[in-house]
Amino acid sequence: MIMGTAAYLVILSGSALSNINHLLVIYLLFHFAWSIFGPAETRIMQQHIHPSDTGKTYGMAIGLRMGLAAAVTAGAGFWMDHVTGGFRQVFPLSATIGMIGLVMIASVPTGSSGEPMGMNRELIIRPWRETFQLLARRRDFLRFEIAFMIYGIAFMMLMPVVPIFLVDELKLSYATIGLARGAASQLIMIPAMLIFGRLFDRSTPHRMGVWIFSLLALYPLILLTAGKVEGELQIWLVYAAFLVFGVVMSGLIVIWNLSTLRFARGEDVSVYQSVHVAATGVRGMFAPFLGYAIMSWFGIQTALIVSAALWVVAGAAMVLMRRIDRRSGEATSLRAAVKM
C-alpha cells in the first residue's frame, strides 16, 4: 500500500509534466513500486486460490483488466490526437484508477509468511542471500529463468523500436496506434486469457513457454511485412500483428505471473517471484539500449528480425533446459496439484 500510493502520486504529477527528466522519474518510481507489488500479489494468490484453479481464476481477472485497458487505451489515443497536451489529463485518470485497484488488493486478508524483518543491514543482505541460495538449490528454476531471460531480451529490445517504426516509418496517427496497440491487442486478450488460464491448469510452464516464445516471432515479422506495402493493406497488417501479439502475450502473462507458483509448491512463492522480477530489471538495464543500438546502426528492419530470431531461440532453449532437468534428475513435477 505504501509503495503503490507513492507510485500513483508520482503518476498524478504527470499532469504538470514539462520535460523528459520528469517522465523518467515517473517511470523509475512506478516500476520500483511494481517490483514490490508483483511478489506480494503472487503471494496472495498462493494463499487464497487452489493450485488447480489458479490459471482459470487469474485468466478471468486479467481478462476483465484487459477489457477496461482496451477501452481506456483507445480513448486516450483519440483524446491525444484531438487535444493539445491531452496527456496531462491521462496521467491523473490513470492514477485514480490505479489507486482504486490498489486499495481493493490491499484489503485482501493475508497470513504472515515469516517474521517481520527489522530495519537493519539484513533488510538489504537477506533477500540477496536467499536468492542465491534458491538458485543454487533449485537449478531447474535457474535454467527456466535463463530461457525466460532470452525471451525478455527480445521483448525489451522492441520497446524503443516499435513506436518509432509505427510513427516514423509507417506514418500512423495516434488514433490508429491506440486502436492497434490498445483495442485490437487487448480486446483479443480477453478471451485468449481465459483459454490460456485454463490451459495452464492442465499443462506445465515449460510446455507453454516453448509455443508462446516461438509464436511471438510472428509479431515483428508481420510488422516487417506491413512496412513493405501501402494503403489499407498496411493498416490491416498492423492490426493483424497486434492481434497476434495480444493472443500470444495472453499466454505469456499467465506463465510469467503463475509459473513461480508451480516451482514454489509449499514454499513462499514471493521469494521465487522476486527472482523473476529481478531478472526483468536486469535485462531492462541493457536490452532496450541494445534494441536502439541495432536500430541505429543496422536499421529498424534488422532490429525486428533479430527480435524474432531471439524468440525462436528462447523457445528452443526452453526445450533444452527441460531436457537437462530430466537428465540431471532435477525435473520436479510442475503440474497443478490435484484438488481433493
pLDDT tens readout for residues 227-246 = 888 888 888 999 899 999 98
Domains belonging to the chain, first-starting first, are 2-106+139-327 (1.20.1250.20)
Q: Cα separation of 225 and 307, whole Å?
A: 15
Q: What angle do CA 213, 36, 10 make, to 5 degrees?
A: 105
Q: Can you give the pLDDT at residue 244? A: 93
Q: What angle do CA 22, 28, 34 make, to 5 degrees?
A: 135
Mean pLDDT on 285-301: 93
pLDDT tens readout for residues 49-59 = 766 677 777 77
Q: Is the model more confident about 283 or about 69? A: 283
306 has a pLDDT exceeding 90: yes
Question: Distances in Å between the alpha carbon of 4 and those of 27, 58, 104, 208?
Answer: 13, 21, 12, 31
222 has a pLDDT exceeding 90: yes
Mean pLDDT on 153-165: 92
Mean pLDDT on 325-333: 88
Q: Can you give the pLDDT at residue 119? A: 55
Q: Can you give the pLDDT at residue 340? A: 39
Mean pLDDT for the chain overall: 82
Query: Residue 167 — pLDDT band, cuts 50, 70, 90?
Result: confident
Q: Cα separation of 206 and 203, whole Å?
A: 9
Q: Can you give the pLDDT at residue 195? A: 87
- Four-residue CA torsion sign, 85, 87, 88, 90: positive
118 has a pLDDT exceeding 70: no
Residues of the chain with pLDDT > 70, as a percent, come to 89
pTM: 0.76
